[in-house]
Structure 1
Amino acid sequence: MKRCLAPILLLALISCNTNAEQVKDDKSIESSVEIAVSINPAGRTISERFPEPTGFTRVKAQENSFAAYLQNFKLKPHGAVVHYYNGKVKPNDDVYEAVLDIDVGNYDLQQCADAVMRLRAEYLFKQKRFSDIHFNFTNGFKADYSKWQQGYRVNVNGNTTNWVKKVAPSTAYTSFRDYLKLVFTYAGTKSLEKEMKAIAIKDIKIGDVFIKGGSPGHAVIVVDMAVNVQTNEKLFLLAQSYMPAQEIQILKNPMSPNLSPWYSTNFTGPLFTPEWTFQKSQLKRF
């Protein structure tokens, strides 16, 4: 469980919770047509592992965009299991279909919202868009990576949070990871939800996030999409981390096993995922 250094940031302790809303026996997530879905075990990336289903065309992401980064994210070999931060294996009770090839760290920090922030921050760091890397703490403090990069560190004194110049400037990746560790400690679903803007389900894009802020709360991110150009039906893949901190995984679709791991935008009522239930109104964008 996350540990905070000051009472004001207590709400950042839990971004996900094992007492999550359970998936119900509901048929509200259905595609409008029978769709042939296949998985390519030899695929090394998300787009290679999960070919677009019959009748659908994969969304062509703009080069160097966040969407392209996610679509082409490397996966661990087919059949890989999810590990917790402590090395233990997460039982796969029809939860995930694949595992992203990115570490989870050695601390119980990179949970659900943290995984979303990790993917976003890693993309921006790779693009050298350092000034765009920033996340808010639960108390509202804006943690700019550009300040961290200049050698400033966060000082917490009671209810006051501020930057203090402490070390020499650095653009090293190890320093960037230390920054993320700080963010994961003090931010969570509640703060991330407030940072993002609401998006209608019909306008869903790769990189969007279904998020419920609070304790408990949860977040999953859209990592790929395909569209039926005749019906405009959209299919999407979801990825998550969870509690305790664990490797990021591609989720199965518990309501439409024949469509899994793809989800369709043609659903009414809640969006059921293996370990959480979301509302359409909880779709957000950076």
Structure 2
Amino acid sequence: MKRQSFICILFFLSGLSLYGQSIESRIAPPAGYVREKCPANSFDTYLRSLPLLPEGNKVHLYNGQLKKNQAAAYAVVDMEIGNRDLQQCADAVIRLRAEYLWSQKRYDEIKFNFTNGFPAEYKTWAEGNRIRVSGNRVEWYTTGCRDYSYKSFRKYLDMVFMYAGTASLSKELTTVPYAALSPGDVFIHGGSPGHAVIVMDVAVNPETRKKVYLLAQSYMPAQQIHILVNPANSLLSPWYELSSKATGKLYTPEWVFEKKDLKRFNK
């Protein structure tokens, strides 16, 4: 019995070392850089505290198959994505923002527009209403079942994923200068096709004041959210350098953005 207990403890401790790692604890900033301080209840802290799957895990699609371009990913975020082809690029950004707000019980702020402009408000959903879509017509109808549970919240998100995208999300966000980049900001190109990646963390060199940042994405088909490698600088990867040039291109593994594509949620 004592031997079995000892083995169980070893397995437990090894499990902690494998599964207890967050973005902050596993991905160290480059030499000379330190993470910027941020409030404990901020979106910045939420993002850098997200758990990662153990090193060596590959990116999977919603149906369990492997993503074809595994070289794009540095690490995989430990978050379920459902079993439908819904949580793609803009949806992953929406997911992270909504999860943060839900965890803070800031229900009034969870609202995303469908591509046709319909405002899908979480609180309306949680108070017992559902959304009916018929062609381009969208309306609320009453079910009478008030439900703020996480299960209901995920169903709300799936509805949003189905009818929102880069085109709608890009209109909701506020454009910010590249030099002002901070965690939670989004590089987004709205359209069909379009793409979006989110800034997960920022570190600064105290002496030079130069900054570096991490990016994450989902893609098509729907797939696990993953931290991106830096295809333009393998020595700095997965970090990206915040260059002094306010214009130009940002090269990510599967999309090329303009620096002017940087936008922000209202905080």
Query: TM-score, normalization: structure 1?
Result: 0.83
Range moving further from structure 2, 258-267 or 65-74: 258-267
Show the counterpart of 1:285: 264
Once the two structures are superposed, residues 179-206 of structure 1 have per-residue CA deviations (whole angstroms, 9 ceiling, x without a partner) of 0010000000000000000011111110
How far is 1:162 from its partner? 1.8
Counterpart-to-counterpart distance in 1, 2:172 and 2:224: 24
Question: Higher relative contact order by CA 8 Å / sep ≥ 6: 1 or 2?
Answer: 1
CA deviation profile, 1:157-214 (whole Å, cap 9, x unmatched) = 4443221112411011111111001000000000000000001111111000000000
Question: In the alignment, what sits opposite 1:114?
Answer: 91
Structure 2 CA distance for aligned equivalents of residues 178 and 58 of structure 1: 35
What's 1:270 paired with?
249
Aligned mates of 1:179, 1:99 — CA distance in 2: 24
Alignment of 1:213-228 (within 5 A): 213-228=190-205
Residue 107 (structure 2) pairs with residue 130 (structure 1): yes
Alignment of 1:135-146 (within 5 A): 135-146=112-123
- Structure whose alpha-carbon radius of gyration is higher: 2
C-alpha change, 1:86 and 1:124, in structure 2 (3 Å) is same
CA pair 175-243 structure 1, distance change in 2 beyond 3 A: same
Change over 3 Å in CA distance of 1:92–1:160 after alignment to 2:
closer
Shift of 1:229: 2.3
153-162 vs 235-244, which deviates more?
A: 153-162
Tell me which amino acid in the other structure corresponds to 1:272: Y
Residue in 2 that maps onto 1:54? 31
Q: Secondary structure at the match of 2:102?
A: helix
Alignment of 1:48-87 (within 5 A): 48-87=25-64
- Alpha-carbon distance in structure 2 between the residues aligned to 1:247 and 1:157: 30
Q: Which amino acid aligns with 2:260?
A: S
Higher mean alpha-carbon deviation, 62-71 vs 92-101, is at: 92-101
Are 1:233 and 2:223 counterparts?
Answer: no
Please list, as runs of the form range in 1=range in 2, the aligned pairs for 1:148-167 lying within 5 A after superposition. 148-167=125-144
SS in 1 for 2:116: coil
**Distance in 2 (alpha carbons) for counterparts of 1:283 and 1:230:** 26
Q: What is the aligned residue count?
A: 247
Are the equivalent residues in 2 in contact too, given 1:43–1:49 (CA < 8 A)?
no
Displacement of 1:155 in angstroms is 2.2
- The alignment partner of 1:156 has SS state of strand
CA–CA distance in 1 between the matches of 2:261 and 2:39? 25
Query: Which digits, 9 at most, give the CA deviation of each residue in 1:1-50, with x for residues without a partner?
Result: xxxxxxxxxxxxxxxxxxxxxxxxxxxxxxxxxxxxxxx98970101111
In the superposition, relative to structure 1, how do residues 90 and 260 fare at CA in structure 2: closer, same or farther (>3 Å)?
same
Q: Structure 1: which 5+ residue stretches go unaligned?
A: 1-39
Letter in structure 1 aligned against 2:250: L
Question: 1:166 is matched by which residue type in structure 2?
Answer: T
Q: Which amino acid aligns with 1:260?
A: S
Distance 1:133 1:42, change over 3 A: closer
Pairwise CA RMSD: 1.6
Describe the SS at the equivalent of 1:94: helix
Shift of 1:94: 2.2
Q: Distance in 2 between matches of 1:281 and 1:184?
A: 25
Q: Quick one: distance in 1 between partners of 2:20 and 2:239? A: 16
Q: Does the residue aligned with 1:194 lie in a helix, a strand or coil? A: helix
The corresponding residue for 1:12 is none
* Corresponding residue for residue 153 of structure 2: 176
Q: Distance in 2 between matches of 1:256 and 1:159?
A: 45
CA distance in 1, matches of 2:237, 2:144: 49
TM-score calculated relative to the size of structure 2: 0.89
Q: Is the 8 A contact 1:110 1:246 kept in 2?
A: yes
